């Protein structure tokens, strides 16, 4: 299958998207891959597979690659003389954070009618924003960790007890996140978070809470991954984070009861269907007193959470073959024609 991987983006997570894309090259061994790099100025480049090394981007060597533009139905490669359509069957959106997770890439693909694997615009807007994720979960009857929302201009008054965790509402990969153990640390942590976003969400920090990750998708049937209990560190340093986005080896299932496993799977399905059809997402859950709480939705998970699936590549192909179709709207100018007849004029 011909897959075009879109990565990079004008995003705080630009660099880890590059790492994710390099990982995909290792994982998708039987596919014919194209790599579409969105640089920090949102210029599109077609990257030769041999150049998929992190240094190629950090050194800005990528700027010598061919540029791409979008036209109805395809990416267009700009050549010395004229242009050529990029031949691809499906786009895999691998931009973490802004552009990729906020609905922009989904909008572009939908507007230009290019089949793509990614959350659609609505799903993106709701899951990119941690506050809206809470609304969504509540409307679906999915329990969430309690929270407080603060805007930059709000009074900095906490309604929760310490320790708390402070997160910018629109970022992933722990950027701008702080754990605050006492009041004296609050101001600084809020300053940090507000550096990245005008809105933050504050939640109780539950020390030692059991966290479980469930990834999945729906093709003609459910495609659920194993459930992983991720290793917890209070802070991830860059090396560990890098490891996280470059993971390509399958991991072991968490040791949990059938009951909890079923609860996690059923909660995942409730969140996914139908809003996230066409995408592979990872949901992070907390289990507290036998109850499953949604912590976060990762609409474009690191390295697409490939390491949680037995045969990621085949699944990708099945999803590509059962993407949601845009509703067909007939435009026949009946309405304008009627007005013209009624008015006897153009």
Nearest alpha-carbon partner for 79 in 63, 62, 65 = 65
Tell me, residue by residue from 211 to 250, as one string, x for binding to a second copy by CB under 8 A and - for no binding: ---------------------------xx--x--------
Q: Is 151 exposed, middle or buried (0-12, 13-18, 19+ CB in 10 A)?
A: exposed
* 207 or 337: CB nearest a second copy: 337
**Shortest gap between Cβ of 189 and a second copy (angstroms)?**
19
> Is position 192 an interface residue for a second copy (rule: CB under 8 A)?
no
1, 25, 43, 89: residue in contact with a second copy (rule CB under 8 A): 43
What is the DSSP code (8-state) at residue 310?
S
Q: How far is CA 80 from the centre of its chain?
A: 35
| Euclidean distance between the first and the last CA atom of the chain, given in angstroms as a whole number | 50
Which part of the chain contacts a second copy (CB under 8 A), choosing from 95-103, 204-212, 228-236, 298-306?
A: 95-103
Which part of the chain contacts a second copy (CB under 8 A), choosing from 63-71, 211-219, 221-229, 261-269?
A: 63-71
> Is position 323 an interface residue for a second copy (rule: CB under 8 A)?
no
Q: Where are the beta strands (DSSP E) in the chain?
A: 2-8, 32-38, 44-47, 66-71, 74-78, 83-85, 90-93, 116-117, 148-151, 164-168, 178-180, 199-204, 210-218, 222-228, 281-288, 291-298
**Shortest gap between Cβ of 83 and a second copy (angstroms)?**
11
Q: How many angstroms separate the Cα of 136 from the Cα of each of 266, 278, 288?
A: 16, 18, 20
Tell me which residues touch a second copy (CB under 8 A): 10-12, 14-16, 18-19, 40-43, 53-55, 57-58, 69-72, 98-99, 102-104, 106-108, 110-113, 121-122, 124-126, 128-129, 131-132, 135-136, 138-139, 149, 151, 198, 238-239, 242, 274, 329, 331, 333, 335-340, 342, 346
């Amino acid at each position: 299958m011909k897959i075009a991987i879109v990565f990079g983006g004008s995003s705080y997570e630009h660099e880890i998207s590059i790492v994710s894309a390099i990982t995909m090259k290792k994982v998708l061994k039987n596919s014919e891959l194209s790599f579409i790099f969105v640089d920090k100025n949102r210029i599109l480049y077609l990257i030769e597979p041999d150049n998929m090394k992190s240094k190629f981007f950090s050194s800005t060597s990528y700027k010598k690659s061919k540029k791409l533009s979008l036209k109805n139905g395809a990416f267009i490669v700009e050549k010395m003389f004229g242009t050529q359509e990029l031949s691809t069957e499906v786009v895999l959106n691998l931009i973490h954070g802004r552009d990729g997770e906020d609905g922009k890439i989904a909008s572009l693909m939908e507007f230009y009618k290019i089949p793509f694997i990614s959350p659609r615009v609505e799903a993106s807007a709701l899951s990119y924003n941690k506050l809206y994720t809470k609304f969504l979960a509540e409307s679906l009857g999915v329990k969430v960790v309690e929270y407080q929302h603060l805007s930059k201009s709000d009074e900095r008054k906490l309604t929760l007890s310490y320790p708390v965790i402070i997160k910018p509402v629109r970022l992933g990969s722990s950027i701008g996140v702080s754990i605050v153990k006492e009041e004296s640390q609050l101001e600084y942590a809020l300053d940090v978070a507000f550096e990245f976003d005008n809105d933050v969400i504050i939640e109780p920090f539950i020390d030692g809470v059991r966290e479980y990750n469930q990834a999945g998708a729906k093709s003609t049937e459910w495609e659920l991954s194993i459930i992983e209990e991720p290793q917890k560190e209070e802070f991830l340093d860059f090396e560990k984070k890098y490891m996280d986005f470059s993971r390509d080896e399958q991991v072991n299932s968490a040791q949990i009861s059938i009951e909890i496993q079923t609860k996690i799977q059923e909660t995942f399905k409730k969140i996914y269907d139908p809003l996230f059809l066409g995408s592979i997402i990872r949901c992070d859950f907390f289990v507290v007193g036998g109850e499953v709480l949604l912590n976060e939705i990762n609409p474009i998970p690191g390295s697409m959470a490939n390491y949680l699936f037995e045969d990621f590549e085949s699944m990708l192909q099945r999803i590509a073959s059962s993407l949601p179709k845009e509703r067909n709207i007939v435009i026949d100018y009946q309405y304008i024609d009627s007005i013209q007849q009624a008015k006897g004029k153009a």
